[in-house]
Amino acid sequence: MFVCLATHACLLIGPEAFALDESKQLPIHTYVNNSSAKKEIVEFLVSHNPDSIEQVDEDGNTLLAIAVDRQKSPEIVLYLLGQRPDLASKRNARNGQTPLHALCCNYNADEMVPALAALLELHGEAAKLRDKGGSVHYRTIGRSPTDTSSLL
pLDDT in tens, 75-131: 999 999 999 988 888 888 778 888 877 777 766 667 777 887 887 787 777 667 777
Q: Where are the domains of the chain?
A: 2-151
d(CA 49, CA 62): 14
| CATH level 3 topology of 2-151 | 1.25.40
Considering only CA atoms, which of 148, 44, 46, 36 is closest in space to residue 102?
A: 148
pTM for the full predicted model? 0.72
Specify whether the CB–CB gap between 3 and 36 falls below 8 A.
Answer: yes
Distance of CA 141 to the CA centre of its chain: 17
pLDDT, position 22? 77
CA distances in angstroms from 89 to 20, 61, 120, listed in the order given: 24, 12, 10
Query: Which residues lie below 8 Å from residue 142, measured CB to CB, with a gap of 6+?
Result: none
More confident residue, 137 or 45: 45
pLDDT in tens, 9-37: 555 556 566 677 777 788 888 899 887 89
- Taking residues 39-65, report their average pLDDT: 90
d(CA 70, CA 30): 11
d(CA 130, CA 35): 26
